[in-house]
Amino acid sequence: MTLVEVQGRKTRLTQVGEQLLRRVNYLLAEAERFENVAQNLKQGVESRLTVAVDEAFPKDVLYQSLVAVSDEFPLVHMEVIETILTGANELLNKGMADIAISPFTLANELSEDICRINFIAVCGAEHPLAHKSNVSPQDLKHHRQIVLRDSGVDSKTDVGWLGSEQRWTVTHLATSIELIQNNLGFAWLPQRSIAEHLQYGQLVPIQLQRGATRSNNFYLNFRDAEVLGPVARSFIGHVRYRTTDE
């Protein structure tokens, strides 16, 4: 065997050894992860937390709360289901969510009032309503209204003024914002969610005679508090803390 062949064999053996070492390290890390998961379960820590949250709820509060919980329980899988109107409570009632953040109270349970969300009537900067003052409900009727569809299936609910002769119904808040920004209609949108769009003039408040703004309470809903695990309790605590001054 030549020197070149010997060196080539050594190189291949080294590569195989490195691959085996990486594989062993991966298996050891997985074993440690499973051990930690098992320890969590033994201590009553959930392996997953599913939160159903209405899209109008402040995203910064939601995201900060999720990060704080993940820092405390890094091995727990967090699942967020975005909903509209009755959708969050419906998922909770069906056992598909552990916690619901909703603009509606939960039947036969003590719903916790956590914040109040302001909604404002807006249109795009080039929409005819943007250049009109003292707008009446009759004026609104002649313009297209963008409406969010209730994501609940069992008992759909309409909220707010729905008097336009022409309406487009969409399933996501982001779609509604985009349509209005492109001057394709108007809607009442959560003021906090569109703050930047208002700041940069992409959306314009409609100068209504009355009803330009409205507000809704939002509720933290869950089933029997006695059976909530530490992860769910942690999330609830962080949401409470971050909505104290809302």
The CATH number given to whatever domain includes residue 84 is 3.40.190.10
Task: Quote the number of domains for the chain.
Answer: 3
Non-local (6+) Cβ contacts of 76 within 8 A are 40, 45, 46, 47, 48, 49, 69, 70, 231
Both 126 and 168 in one domain: the answer is yes
User: What is the Cα–Cα distance from 145 to 167, expressed in whole angstroms?
Assistant: 5
Please give the backbone phi and psi of residue 77, each rounded to the nearest 5 degrees, phi first: -80, 125
Per-residue pLDDT, 144: 95
Best CA proximity match to 183, nearest among 130, 107, 241 = 130
Same structural domain for residues 12 and 63?
no
CA 24/CA 168 separation, integer angstroms? 57
pTM: 0.79
Torsion of CA 151, 70, 31, 228, to 10 degrees: -70
109, 125: one domain: no
Please report the pLDDT score of residue 113 as a whole number: 94
Q: What is the pLDDT of residue 108?
A: 79
Is 108 found in the same domain as 82?
A: yes
Residue in the block written with tokens 């598909």: 96
Q: Residue 1 has what pLDDT? A: 55
Does one domain contain both 93 and 7? no
User: What averages of pLDDT result for each successive group of 10 residues across the chain (246 residues)?
Assistant: 56 63 62 49 76 97 97 95 96 95 89 95 97 93 94 77 87 96 97 96 96 95 86 96 82
The pLDDT of residue 214 is 94
CA distance 148 to 14: 61
Tell whether 52 and 38 lie within a shared domain: no
Same domain, 144 and 200: yes
Are 35 and 147 in a shared domain?
no
In this structure, the answer to whether residues 7 and 62 fall within a common structural domain is no
Residues 31 and 61 in one domain: no
In angstroms, rounded to a whole number, what is the distance separating the alpha carbons of residues 246 and 54?
A: 16
- The residues near 126 (Cβ < 8 Å, ≥ 6 apart) are 183
The verdict on 15 and 73 lying in the same domain is no
Both 5 and 126 in one domain: the answer is: no
Domain that holds residue 21: 1-43
